[in-house]
Chains A and B, each alone.
Chain A
């Protein structure tokens, strides 16, 4: 039998709440008894009589509230106490409006908001296609955040959307900005004349932010989901969105990006590009052969893609803020780099740049040279922590930093690691204050380790980008606002120190 006690204080106590908490705790499996009481001398007598007067309860003062939990084992008691604490701090939200509980299906929602024109769907994959189909049938554009939708369903949905002149963004579409409204994981980007269609979520975020941070703006940022360029889907949405941007009078420059599409899809995209005079910048995340077209430029760097797009606007734009840091000198044994990413496209870009520089791929969980169990880093390693093996059953690392913090500490403790490279994604959907998670951990790191960080976001994002950067720099992080610069600095540091050996 295990008994735990904890004094709770603060001004948000309410006896009804306390009663509900002890009731909830008692219903937990393995909990023998649980009370939340004022720690009067007399109540302590009763606790003593029932074997629950542990020192922590004894220590509580007469006017304090103490929670005492008696459970079958320590683990249960601890878990129950944790639950109690969270209940005290975050009491269950009051039954919100009757309105929200009344809207149980799409039809009802449309009844209430008849002007609705877009449906954002993020339910579990196996139900997602059915919901998306209903939304399309009702004439709504769809952004399907959910993944684990079959290729057949994706194809059917996209055909249906095309027939109705609707957007079918996704499945697995994490980012879009439609008529200035950021959806799901997206940033606050000004309106301008660059239109983007992307099969990559983080790629789309990084390019839109790159554009915003250079003082330019966008018309639309369409996401298509990662598989649109595959042979099976045939680039339906890539083509449709490209066509839209070609026809759209507000759009003067077009950016097209995503993993390299299947050859037949690529051909069709090129055929379309040939039909427009608008400048088109493509980024297929690797160097490929492209036809020579007067309006076509290509890049494999996200930063450069944004730069090219801004150049093509033929309007003055600002250079991106590129801090000049002195390359640090690391102890001899600290010779390896570890990349810990939350954004998949960013991780791939980092691997690509590494490969270009060193001629060989680093270890990673997403590239050709796979890490053992994806988790055990060795030598130079890059991990995309947003990939499935890390996100099953837990929130995405852009929202929940706990796993990345754990990994960060592990890497820092490895005496062979000299440089750690990471991304911090800001914007809607992301963690409300990443620095508050990172700083306490980073502060404990030895000074001899070099932490390089790419902060993805705009100054208009809810997290306050400048504050985030300042907080990170304060604890010795080499923070950048361009991914290419961050990667470049990390590798230069690595090389310089290797030369010194």
Chain B
């Protein structure tokens, strides 16, 4: 058994942080104003109580640098984003899916996490709590599965698009564009016009000229248009890996045209361009590869749950790319 203790004082409160690691047992992290140290057993016993969390690592993405991360870009209840040179680290709680730039915790309390430091075998939280990890936690980028039967691919894409349309949030870009019912006004109407023009351009030309009509536009913390472009890049990457075309130049041109000043967006664009997939996306594309509509629909639902509309907008980009480059008809008609 190993026990390390730290005493930290700040202007607001004094906190005692103790880490305790037992073989094969989770790490404990205590953080409380007045805590009586009356024996380790009581820690274990009271583990589920407030102000105390057990931190367990599920996965650490292989593309993350061994570095210290302290500048949070944004902080949600289940996700923290940190900027670093060359990308964004996402610290999240399971069931958020693993990814090459993600650290996923099985348990813990994100609200208490300030700084992170990644070493070759430890993740150190708030300079106080060290959690060891090994190869088994590493999340690695793997090549997507090869499509088994190209004949069934198209109908599966079409059907999954139908499913997609049915579950759309009313504020997503696709909903604006697909539903012909809505007389919009003001900002939404302007946005729709721009996106429509963008789609038209996208269909007519094989160049990145449509990018400016999406880039930086739309709602959400990552604008809908940027999500769309990420999705488009992802799908091009996949098609290429399936041997369905050589899009290397187009992908690079799109990526460069899409880059802007938002670190979060740029990081997602980079990841999409590199085709370093998060687990959900890997499952999604692999489900296409074996024409398993059930699995497609299942992973699609998970992706649709991203943000308010991010998932929907990403998927719309994917479908628009697949539609164009697989020569599928009927992707824009009313639902």
Consider the complex of A and B and state whether they touch directly, i.e. have CB atoms less than 8 Å apart: yes
* Shortest distance between the CB of B215 and any CB in chain A (Å): 6
Q: Is B131 in contact with chain A by the CB < 8 A criterion?
A: no
In the complex, the answer to whether A50 meets B262 with C-beta atoms within 8 Å is no
CB contacts under 8 Å to B, within A5-36, are 11-16, 18-19, 22-23, 32-33, 35-36
Asked if A49 is an interface residue, CB under 8 A from chain B, the answer is yes
Contact A70 B76 (CB under 8 A): no
Residues in chain A near residue B222, CB distance under 8 A: 15, 38
Interface residue? B225 (CB, 8 A)? yes
Closest to B217 in A: A42
Q: Are A13 and B221 in contact (CB under 8 A)?
A: yes
- A16-B308, A46-B191, A52-B186 known; A37-B218 Cβ under 8 A: yes
- Of all chain B residues, the one with the shortest Cβ separation from A52 is B187
Which of A42, A49, A70 contacts B215, CB < 8 Å? A42
**Contacting pair B187 A42 (CB below 8 A):** no
Interface of chain B residues 172 through 189 with chain A (CB within 8 A): 185-189
A47-B187, A52-B187 known; A12+B220 contact, CB < 8 A? no
Task: Give Cα distance in the complex from A18 to B185, angstroms.
Answer: 19
In Å, the complex CA distance between A15 and B76 comes to 10
Instruction: Determine which of B75, B77, B186, B194 lies in contact with A70 in the assembled complex, contact meaning CB atoms within 8 Å.
Output: B186
Known contacts A35-B187, A40-B260, A43-B218; decide if A11 and B308 are in contact (CB<8 Å).
no
Query: Measured between C-beta atoms, what is the minimum distance from B263 to chain A in Å?
Result: 7
Considering the chains assembled together, what is the distance between the CA atoms of A26 and B307 in angstroms?
20
Given contacts A40-B262, A46-B194, A63-B261, contact A18 B221 (CB under 8 A): yes
In the complex, what residues of B have CB within 8 A of residue A13's CB?
Answer: 74, 221
Give the interface size bracket for B toward A. 20 to 34
Chain A residues in 8 Å Cβ range of B221: 13-15, 18, 38, 65
In the assembled complex, B252 has its CB within 8 A of some CB on chain A:
no
A-side contacts of B186, CB under 8 Å: 32-33, 50, 52, 70
With most chain B CB atoms within 10 A of its CB, the pick from A15, A23, A62 is: A15
A41 at the interface (CB under 8 A from B): yes
- Quick one: which of B190, B212, B216, B220 contacts A49, CB cutoff 8 A? B190
In the complex, what residues of A have CB within 8 A of residue B215's CB?
40, 42
A37 lies within 8 A of B223 (CB): yes
> Are B217 and A46 touching (Cβ within 8 A)?
yes
**CB-CB nearest in chain A for B310:** A15
* B253 interface residue (CB < 8 Å to A): no
**Nearest-neighbor residue (CB-CB) of B220 within chain A:** A15
Q: Which residues of the other chain, A, contact B189 by a CB distance below 8 angstroms?
A: 50
Once A11-B75, A63-B263 are accepted as A-B contacts, the answer to whether A43 and B217 lie under 8 Å apart by CB is: yes
Q: Mark B19-60, 1 if CB is under 8 A from A, else 0.
A: 000000000000000000000000000000000000000000
Minimum Cβ distance to chain A for residue B190 (Å): 5
List the B side residues contacting A37 at CB < 8 Å. 218-220, 223
- When A33-B185, A47-B187 are in contact, do A19 and B74 touch as well, CB less than 8 Å? no
* Residues A46 and B310 in contact, CB atoms below 8 Å apart: no
Whether a CB of chain A sits under 8 angstroms from the CB of B196 is: no
Interface residues of A in 457-501 (CB under 8 A from B): none
Interface string of B294-307 (1 = CB under 8 A from A): 00000000000001
A11 engages B74 (CB within 8 Å): yes
Q: Which of B74, B77, B185, B223 contacts A43 (CB 8 A)?
A: B223
Question: Does B267 sit at the interface, judged by CB under 8 A?
Answer: no
Q: Tell me which of B187, B190, B191, B222 has the highest count of chain A C-beta atoms within 10 A of its own C-beta.
A: B187
Verify if B72 is at the interface (C-beta below 8 Å from A).
yes
**Is the Cβ of B262 less than 8 Å from the Cβ of A15?**
no
Instruction: Tell me the minimal C-beta distance from B1 to chain A in angstroms.
Output: 36
Contact present for A40 and B171 (CB under 8 Å): no
Q: For A40, list chain B residues within 8 Å (CB).
A: 215-217, 223, 260, 262
A41-B216 contact in complex given A15-B309, A18-B308, C-beta closer than 8 Å: yes
Of all chain B residues, the one with the shortest Cβ separation from A62 is: B261
Q: A23 to B188, alpha carbons, bound, how many Å?
A: 12
Question: Which A residues have a C-beta under 8 Å from some C-beta of B?
Answer: 11-16, 18-19, 22-23, 32-33, 35-38, 40-43, 46-47, 49-50, 52, 62-63, 65, 68, 70
5 contacts between A and B (CB under 8 A): A15-B310, A23-B171, A32-B186, A46-B187, A46-B190
Known: A35-B187, A52-B186, A63-B261. 14 other contacts (CB 8 A): A13-B74, A13-B221, A15-B309, A15-B310, A16-B307, A18-B220, A23-B171, A33-B188, A37-B219, A38-B262, A40-B260, A43-B218, A62-B261, A63-B263
